[in-house]
Chains A and B, each alone.
Chain A
């Protein structure tokens, strides 16, 4: 596990080494005003022309002691930028992921149980179209219709009036997640406003990502239904509900657990487009800016962060899997 993270860091670092020293300077700068002479001095000072391995070790040391450098795009230290942007992304992920899994599993089971019925065909068509939609296009269409035409669900994170409330001193930001904070502060107007802005991006994500889970669940359920133990259960006198819920579905959910974990991890990293389109200032949006301007420190930090997330999620998925599938447990 640590090995993987180390590998990620090496890989990211080598990519960044492609760039000339001037651009790599950002990792060490704390403000944005530097003259060319200062830059040269700093290049010499931070040994940015040294052999790569030495620089890597130095950089690694910085990372491990919490010095992540300065983000050119965010115009503040990387850590602070992360603090500002991450909660927005996290909030969207928290709302989308359970919905994606639930919708995917429900539609997939429906399709498998009523195979070849109109419901099955409909969900399959929905899934394959959803799978083919570009995220950005669907987002634009949703905005065009809901916001442009109907006039609801505006993009952005909060409307201006609510934003004033949130940044005021009376409002305690415990978690920095708008909706949670709203509940904790007992401000329902903030809560509703937050939801109002989350709905459309969440819908976008759900439509596109549940397609894959739906397809997987359907095929997994079909395979489960064809197994011998289903025949035993029928021969015991099981009723239809028990047959599907207890016997078929439990077995069918196993591969879905793994894929759900991967989807969650991918979602964190793939928010770029959704956030850009819906004007949500989360880490995805930040990354879009950072990549276009080659904000080295920001990119490196985020890649590392998402790598850690991936490893952690995998670990959790493994644990859950072992809990659910007795064949995997160690004695």
Chain B
């Protein structure tokens, strides 16, 4: 297999156990995102785009559950061949890669930001979760030159915190290293060892009792102010890099005081604070004006050149896909319909659904009326049998409502799941 992969999902199934029934949101979804590419996922509302990426980060909301499949992430810089199987890792491990290696930005930035915390606090959290050792080190260094009993007190407390952080990081690193070594072993001993390690990993981080005590006292708590200032400086720097004017002022503000475009930039800032390898953008521009949309898209493009490796861009807007994506997957009702490079998809759409989507978009040279895809998105509690698109498909055959079509590679890099191609081409994948 090509060693350029960043994320790979195989047979991913996610279901939502609601009162009205089990919603089969994802039905054996397979995707591959490579390093350094912008990958698009398109489809109508409710087709499972968001659920797919949330499953990738394992932040699916209750009552949802990932019920099957594998998700491999290739985050190790030295060893690109070996992936980490995400579904078998502990929640604590996931928390450590969320925001650090993989980040996500959302559709409604206003709702995504906590209304009672300031912008600076919310961005600063990313630093607190993942770059704490660095921040503590900087703060202590900054306090070195200062004299006075209070500064000395603050320094000693911070040093204690740093020591504990370092100890914990080492502990976590050891566990993660061993887990990584055992990643591909499947014998009984290794599996048991992995389970034990995951359990270890989930244990909460210890805290010095003295530090914990002082933190709770209203007046002595001020010793952390130096730390807050350090983080604040980084936050302001980050905002400046993203082109946000007057960053000191913005950091003090609250989400409801900012415009939609500005809020989305803040969400992006939060996502980028720790230089993630993968950025997932879940319809980041659908709720914004077209002009703001263009700005955000430009911003993402810029960032891809400089700091991020890959971007997964979810949208229902084919025009955006054409503009910024390298490869794209078309999803329908929890199934992957078609995957190809953008050029290939627009030139030779193979799946009837893709063809329908493209037909519905007005083009430069337009003859006659726009065709629509008849019908509506199906209820996923009782999805259509066989190929889920068959009720609305104009090329429907007998087999389509009985057997789910396998995914076949028609051209290199161009796969489709449709019975139109199962009999003619026999390149089984």
Please give the residue numbers on chain A whose beta carbons come within 8 Å of chain B beta carbons, in ascending order: 226-229, 231-239, 241-242, 246-247, 250-251, 254, 324-327
Q: In the complex, what distance in Å separates the CA atom of A250 from the CA atom of B254?
A: 15
Measured between C-beta atoms, what is the minimum distance from B265 to chain A in Å?
Answer: 14
Could you say which of B31-39, B104-112, B391-399 contacts chain A?
Answer: B104-112
Asked whether B362 is an interface residue with its Cβ less than 8 Å from the other chain, the reply is no
B115 to chain A, nearest CB (A): 6
Residue of B nearest to A226 (CB): B61
> What does the 1/0 interface line of B188-205 toward A look like (CB < 8 Å)?
000000000000000011
Q: How far is the CB of B264 from chain A (nearest CB, A)?
A: 12
A238 to B100, CA, bound (A): 11
Interface members, chain B 114-134 (any A CB < 8 Å): 114-118, 125-126, 129-130
Q: Is the CB of A251 within 8 A of B114?
A: yes
Task: Determine how close the nearest CB of chain B comes to the CB of A249; give it in whole angstroms.
Answer: 10
Given contact pairs A228-B112, A235-B98, enumerate 18 new A-B contacts (beta carbons under 8 Å): A228-B106, A228-B108, A229-B114, A229-B115, A231-B59, A231-B61, A232-B113, A232-B270, A235-B99, A235-B271, A236-B129, A237-B95, A237-B100, A239-B129, A239-B204, A241-B204, A324-B116, A327-B254
- The CA of A100 and the CA of B270, in the complex, are separated in Å by 38
When the two chains form their complex, are residues B254 and A326 in contact, meaning their CB atoms are under 8 A apart? yes
Q: Is the CB of B270 within 8 A of A250?
A: no
19 interchain pairs (CB within 8 A)? A229-B115, A231-B61, A231-B112, A232-B270, A234-B98, A235-B59, A236-B103, A237-B98, A237-B99, A237-B126, A238-B129, A239-B95, A239-B129, A239-B205, A247-B117, A251-B115, A324-B116, A326-B116, A326-B254
- A236-B114 in contact (CB<8A): no
Check if B95 sits within 8 Å of A238, measured CB to CB. Answer: yes
Interface residue? B75 (CB, 8 A): no
**Contact of A235 (CB < 8 Å), options: B92, B103, B115:** B103
B270 contacts A251, C-beta separation under 8 Å: no
Q: Which residues of B contact A251 (CB under 8 A)?
A: 114-116
Q: Which residues of A contact B360 (CB under 8 A)?
A: none
Cβ contacts B46-57/A at 8 Å (1 or 0 each) = 000000000001
If A232-B106, A235-B103 touch, whether A327 touches B256 (CB-CB below 8 Å) is: yes
- Contact-size category for B: 20 to 34
Residue of chain A at shortest CB distance from B107:
A228
Which B residues lie within 8 Å of A238 (CB)?
A: 95, 125, 129
Residues of A close to B92: CB separation below 8 A: 239
Q: Which residue of B lies closest to A241 (CB)?
A: B204
Closest residue of chain B to A235, judged by CB? B104
Q: Which of B380-410 contact A (CB under 8 A)?
A: none
A247-B114 in contact (CB<8A): yes
1/0 per residue, CB under 8 A from A, across B306-329: the answer is: 000000000000000000000000
- The minimal Cβ–Cβ distance linking A195 to chain B, given in whole angstroms, is 26
Q: Is the interface of B mostly helix, strand, loop or mixed?
A: mixed
Question: Contact at A250–B116, with CB atoms within 8 Å?
Answer: yes
Which B residue's beta carbon lies closest to that of A326?
B254
Total contacts A-B at CB 8 Å: 80
> Cβ of B113: which chain A residues have Cβ within 8 Å of it?
229, 232
Q: Which residues of A contact B116 (CB under 8 A)?
A: 250-251, 254, 324-327
A236 contacts across to B, CB distance below 8 A:
98-99, 103, 125-126, 129, 270
- What's the minimum C-beta distance from B181 to chain A, rounded to whole angstroms? 24
Taking a contact as CB atoms closer than 8 A, the residue among B61, B96, B111, B205 that contacts A229 in the complex is B111
Q: Is the beta-carbon distance between B59 and A234 smaller than 8 angstroms?
A: yes
Expressed in whole angstroms, the minimum distance between the Cβ of A99 and any Cβ of chain B is 20
Give the docked Cα–Cα distance between A227 and B110 (Å): 11
**In whole angstroms, what is the CA distance A326 to B113 when docked?**
13
Q: Which 10 A-B pairs have the closest CB atoms?
A: A237-B99, A228-B111, A237-B98, A236-B99, A326-B254, A229-B114, A235-B104, A232-B112, A237-B129, A237-B95
Residue-by-residue, is B219-253 near A (CB-CB < 8 Å gives 1, otherwise 0)?
00000000000000000000000000000000000
> What are the residues of chain B within 8 A of A247 when measuring CB–CB?
114, 117
Contact A327 B111, CB 8 Å, known A232-B106, A235-B98, A236-B126: no
A234: chain B residues at CB < 8 Å are 59, 95, 98
Residue B97 CB within 8 A of the other chain: yes
Nearest B-chain residue to A250, judged by Cβ: B116
Whether B204 contacts A237 by the Cβ 8 Å rule is: no
Question: What's the minimum C-beta distance from A250 to chain B, rounded to whole angstroms?
Answer: 5
Q: Provide the residues of chain A in CB contact with B111, threshold 8 Å.
A: 227-229
The CB with the most chain B CB atoms within 10 A, among A228, A235, A250, A254, is that of: A235
Q: What are the residues of chain B within 8 A of A241 when measuring CB–CB?
A: 204
Bound CA–CA A237/B59 (angstroms): 10
Cβ of B267 under 8 Å from chain A: yes
CB distance from A283 to the nearest CB of B (A): 34
Q: Which residue of A lies closest to B270 (CB)?
A: A236
In Å, the complex CA distance between A290 and B129 comes to: 62
Q: Which residues on A sit within 8 Å (CB–CB) of B256? A: 326-327
In angstroms, how far is the closest chain B Cβ from the Cβ of A324?
Answer: 7
Q: Which residues of A contact B108 (CB under 8 A)?
A: 228
Question: Distance (Å) between the CB of A229 and the closest chain B CB?
Answer: 4
Complex CA gap A325/B115 in Å reads 8
Bound together, the chains give a CA A174 to CA B59 distance in angstroms of 58
B97's partner among A237, A246, A326 (CB-CB below 8 A) is A237
Report the Cα distance A250→B256, complex, angstroms: 16
Q: Considering only CB atoms, which chain B residue lies closest to A325 in the complex? A: B116
| Cα-based distance from A247 to B122 in the complex (angstroms) | 10
Shortest Cβ distance from A236 into B: residue: B99
**Residue of B112, B115, B129 touching A326 (CB-CB under 8 A):** B115
In the assembled complex, the Cα of A228 lies from the Cα of B109 at a distance in Å of 9
A254: nearest chain-B partner, CB-CB: B116
Instruction: For the complex, give the distance between the alpha carbons of A237 and B131 in Å.
Output: 12
- Residues of A near B100 (CB, < 8 A) are 237
A278 to B126, CA, bound (A): 54
Residues in A neighbouring B129, C-beta threshold 8 A: 236-239
Complex contacts, B96 vs chain A, CB 8 Å:
237
CA distance A226 to B64 in the complex (A): 13
Q: Which residues of B contact A229 (CB under 8 A)?
A: 111-115
Tell me, in angstroms, the Cα distance from A246 to B103 when the chains sit together. Answer: 20
Beta-carbon nearest neighbor of B115 in chain A: A327
Question: Cβ of B130: which chain A residues have Cβ within 8 Å of it?
Answer: 237
